[in-house]
Amino acid sequence: MAHLFTEVVKEMDKEIPVAFTNKTKWPGEKQCALVTSMSSKQWQVNFERRNSSFVSTGTGWRDFLCDQELRIGNILVFEVVDERCLVVTINPYAEKTPFKKILRPTHLRENNSARLLSVL
């Protein structure tokens, strides 16, 4: 199990996709926060610009991943709140019940598509 978690952290420990940054202008600051609806805790994440993308530095991103006990199959949805904050919705992996997402009309509007979906 520890090996699987190490693989999740390694896979997620990458740069923010350039297309997401270009569309949302996130991160707009070097120090940002991640929040979830499941906890009142905030995770401070630091970013550094490398070429055309941003890469997390420090331990904030790794701390977030560890605290959430993510595993292969989880679906993470990142929604921009502002230039310094993302809300992360974590949909747990379910072997018996497949994940279903109901799309609302607002999800399809161009100006509301400031989301990044990550499937582990």
The pLDDT mean for the chain works out to 76
pTM of the shown model:
0.66
Tens digit of pLDDT for each residue in 32-60?
999 987 788 999 999 888 888 888 888 88
The greatest distance separating any two alpha carbons of the chain, rounded to the nearest whole angstrom, comes to 43
